[in-house]
Homo-oligomer: A and B are copies of this chain.
Amino acid sequence: MTVKACVFDVFGTVVDWRNSVARESAPFLARHGGSAIDPHAFATAWRKRYQPGMEECRSGRRPWTRLDVLHRENLELVLVDHGLDPKKIGEAELAEWNNAWRKLDPWPEAVAGLTRLKRNYIIAPLSNGNIALMTAMAKRAGIPWDAILGAEVAQAYKPQPEAYLRTAEVLMIRPDELCLVAAHNGDLAAARECGLKTAFVTRPNEHGPGQTGDLAPAQAWDWVGTDFQDLAGKMGC
């Protein structure tokens, strides 16, 4: 029983969304009367609307919708929450601001670790991010994916079982030949329920100073690494 492909959670596991979205948002905030708003708090507020946005699709109340579209809707909601009027900002700037999610920096060792893992395994994102978003992010950041998989290919959002099982299916491998790598115990638990192998890496700064969740493995995952370099070694690369 051998793992043939490693698929990765991306936001938080491969890339540092919080610092990157804060960096990208700061000039927009400054330009539109939000210079008193902390860009990191803004990034966190934007991200906080991520799960409720997808839940509309998971529940069936809304058809599957690209994350780029949900991010954009959430941007307008977060702006209003912070006392800014999206209409005054205008379409072109809102679209550009939303592209912040395509400009996320990988954690420092992530690309080197992925490059090692790529020697022995097919590597691909299994993210809730859509294909265009993941492709643009990888191109900018030099992430060497073999393929872009995830929610849009599966037409389902994690942690729905279809997101994991259809990913194995398009790779034409069994679930136990597929390993999910994630910094989130909940994601790994859902993958294990579907029969996938699991690898946990610690990202103690994903949510900034004082992070309390996901600091340690919650189950005996198949592999546990301090980061992607450590994991690559443990997975024989």
Q: Could you tell me if A132 and B68 are in contact, using CB atoms closer than 8 angstroms?
A: no
Closest to A172 in B: B132
Judged by a CB distance under 8 angstroms, whether A25 is at the interface is no
Judged by a CB distance under 8 angstroms, whether A43 is at the interface is no
Judged by a CB distance under 8 angstroms, whether A41 is at the interface is no
Judged by a CB distance under 8 angstroms, whether A171 is at the interface is yes
Residues of A within 8 A of B (CB): 66, 68, 122, 124, 130-132, 134-136, 138-139, 145-149, 152-153, 170-173
In the bound complex, residues from chain B placing their C-beta under 8 Å from that of A170 are 130-132, 152
Closest to A148 in B: B147
In the bound complex, residues from chain B placing their C-beta under 8 Å from that of A172 are 66, 68, 130, 132
In the bound complex, residues from chain B placing their C-beta under 8 Å from that of A153 are 131, 153
Q: Give the complex CA separation of A171 and B139 in angstroms.
A: 13
In the bound complex, residues from chain B placing their C-beta under 8 Å from that of A145 are 147
Closest to A118 in B: B139
